[in-house]
Amino acid sequence: MSLAARLAADETVFTAWSSLPEMLTVEALAQTAFDAVTLDMQHGGHSDDSVLRCLLPVAAAGKPGLVRVPVGRFDMASRALDFGAEGVIAPMINSAADAAAFAAAMKFPPLGERSWGPAFGASRRGVSDMAQVLAGDNARTLALAMIETRRAYAALDEIVAVEGIDGVFVGPSDFSIAWSDGREVNASLEAMMEALADIAARTRAAGKRAGIYLVDVSLAGRLAAMGYRLFAVGGEGRLMAAGAATLIEQARGSFR
């Protein structure tokens, strides 16, 4: 089942967040318990080349791959889909015009302006019928607009109303900076929780999907109750540190 179909069925999906542009690292990550893998080009080390190569082991593991593109790189949104990504997260979508430009790069005509060239992605998911790709990709691929600023929050209804935008993805750290007027970065900021709930509620009311980055994983249940269904956790350094701490604690515990 595609990521879009799982979210449409109101499933909760956890995606790993990859910052290291190494194919073997991503291959190992794709073999873990995560439901999906997201490659980060904005703040992570991924590039056009690593996205092309690193989506392959994700597809081989039978999991959906997503890509967060850099700010304004809507050309890369189309390329990520051509390489086999099922979803693209676009940062700093602050207006309906931003959302429309993003959606245009993500969807084939007549809905958008995505150029034709999906050979890598089609072959990676075992599809040889290009007519099937053309007929199904607009519904199968996800255009997720990041909501990170007060301006984006103010324009939320207009953003989610854009045809071709499939949902939003909240960056809580940036949102906390905006919400506190630059006084702090705190992804668990209590003062913004009502706004986060409002974002999810209005997004779902528009028939779209809501996702968020989990800095504090203990907030997952609370955020799910708000309506968020796509949760990102990572990156590799954090996962390795947490795994190492758990294993060392267990090993030391055996001495007692």
Q: Residue with structure tokens 């986060």?
A: 196
* 159-179 residue pLDDT tens: 999 999 999 999 999 999 999
More confident residue, 249 or 125: 249
Q: Position of tokens 């909501």?
A: 147
3-253: CATH topology is TIM Barrel (3.20.20)
Q: Give the start-to-end residue ranges of the domains of the chain.
A: 3-253
Per DSSP bridges, beta strands 142-147 and 87-90 are parallel
Chain center to CA of 156: 18
pTM: 0.96
List residues with catalytic annotation: 43
The sign of the dihedral angle between the CA atoms of 240, 243, 249, 252 is: negative
Q: Where residue 87 falls among pLDDT bands split at 50, 70, 90?
A: very high
